[in-house]
Amino acid sequence: MKIGFIGLGIMGKPMCRNLIKAGYNLVVMDRNQSVTEEIVAAGAMGAGTPREVAEQTDFIITMLPNSPHVKEVMLGKNGVLEGARAGQIVVDMSSIAPLVSQQLAAELAKHGVEMLDAPVSGGEPKAIDGTLSVMVGGKQEVFDKCYPILQTMAGSVVRVGDVGAGNVTKLANQIIVAINIAGMSEALVLATKAGVDPELVYQAIRGGLAGSTVLDAKAPMVMDRNFNPGFRINLHIKDLGNVLETSHEVGVPLPITAQVMEIMQGLKTDGFGDSDHSHLVHFYEKLANIEVKRAER
């Protein structure tokens, strides 16, 4: 089986490497030709357009920034649909608006092409080690066919409902992550300002009810002042934009999420949009005139 992979960014590139390591034949494409060449050097074949990818493969994965990019790749000129044929499966692993996923699936279905929406969580580190969490929406029989391939890139692959449900689940995930980082930031800034070593606070609370994957991933980054992006603030803003749009469509007020969104927008304005979302701590540090960092030993 040949797998097409479109979108070789921070997440897509290591995901492709894991597929290659598992023995799959890949046809890859990205607007950044140098990145495409890097994955070709690792054992994949290159393609110039999404249409070319579709023409050469049975199974197509897309990993793109947002809804407009996925729509363009799927339905635009030289897009996937122009090269698609009945019986193919498209798995969009991008994090996009659920309604767009449903619209794309309906359009592909007219041509006999099945689609799953399968956004991921875990950021670059878990993309590299192949332990992503994948949240999948689509038909059970299509999911069953795709499961072994998805499992190659993931530690957890769960079908959560029909098309669109995957991205609803991802939006729920992004709410929890954003609010966790904000809460962690408030807590560590409070501890530091009160004269307590944030490293010791972290060690004391991580095994209790306040402990979380987010805390373990992000607190050390903050204390090391390492804000290299595993997941950029700009991308989290994009996700929270989709969260709030969807919440308005279904009639669910999300006041805490909206507040964190505004904090992230402020950080973007201050030039931190390409920093890791753990840089959310900077907002609170600025208010308190303190910096969270490891104590000198």
Residue 286 annotated in active site: no
- Answer whether residue 233 is part of any domain: yes
Q: Which domain holds residue 238?
A: 168-288
Q: Which contacts (CB < 8 Å, 24+ apart) does range 15-20 have?
A: 15/61, 15/63, 15/93, 15/127, 15/132, 15/153, 16/42, 16/44, 17/42, 17/128, 18/130, 18/152, 18/153, 19/149, 19/152, 19/153, 20/44
Q: What is the mean pLDDT of residues 221-235?
A: 94
My answer on whether 179 and 127 are in the same domain is: no
My answer on whether 6 and 70 are in the same domain is: yes
Q: How confident is the model at residue 297 (pLDDT cuts 50, 70, 90)?
A: low
- Answer whether residue 158 is part of any domain: yes
My answer on whether 34 and 156 are in the same domain is: yes
pLDDT in tens, 260-277: 999 999 999 999 999 999
172 pLDDT more than 70: yes
The residue assigned the tokens 């308190």 is: 288
- Answer whether residue 125 is part of any domain: yes
- Contact between residue 281 and residue 234 where contact means Cβ atoms under 8 Å apart: no
Instruction: Supply the pLDDT for residue 230.
Output: 83
My answer on whether 54 and 182 are in the same domain is: no
- Answer whether residue 189 is part of any domain: yes
Q: Could you tell me the CATH number of the domain that includes residue 234? A: 1.10.1040.10
My answer on whether 106 and 42 are in the same domain is: yes
My answer on whether 32 and 158 are in the same domain is: yes
Q: What is the mean pLDDT of residues 283-293?
A: 98
pLDDT in tens, 34-85: 999 999 999 999 999 999 999 999 999 999 999 999 999 999 999 999 999 9
Q: Could you tell me the CATH number of the domain that includes residue 92? A: 3.40.50.720
Determine which one of 170, 193, 238, 293 is catalytic.
170
Instruction: Supply the pLDDT for residue 295.
Output: 82
Instruction: Supply the pLDDT for residue 282.
Output: 98
Last residue within a domain, chosen from 115, 141, 163: 163
My answer on whether 182 and 269 are in the same domain is: yes
* Domains in the chain, number: 2
Instruction: Supply the pLDDT for residue 269.
Output: 98
- Answer whether residue 247 is part of any domain: yes
My answer on whether 22 and 117 are in the same domain is: yes
Instruction: Supply the pLDDT for residue 199.
Output: 97
- Answer whether residue 294 is part of any domain: no
My answer on whether 33 and 121 are in the same domain is: yes
pLDDT in tens, 239-264: 999 999 999 999 999 999 999 999 99
pLDDT in tens, 176-201: 999 999 999 999 999 999 999 999 99
My answer on whether 60 and 12 are in the same domain is: yes
- Answer whether residue 107 is part of any domain: yes
- Answer whether residue 295 is part of any domain: no
Q: What is the mean pLDDT of residues 205-226?
A: 97
Q: How confident is the model at residue 296 (pLDDT cuts 50, 70, 90)?
A: confident
My answer on whether 135 and 152 are in the same domain is: yes
First to last CA, the chain: 55
Last residue within a domain, chosen from 163, 182, 199: 163
Distance CA 194, CA 59 (A): 55
Instruction: Supply the pLDDT for residue 245.
Output: 94
Q: What is the mean pLDDT of residues 162-178?
A: 97
pLDDT in tens, 96-150: 999 999 999 999 999 999 999 999 998 888 999 999 999 999 999 999 999 999 9
Q: What is the mean pLDDT of residues 159-170?
A: 98
My answer on whether 154 and 177 are in the same domain is: no
Last residue within a domain, chosen from 141, 163, 185: 163
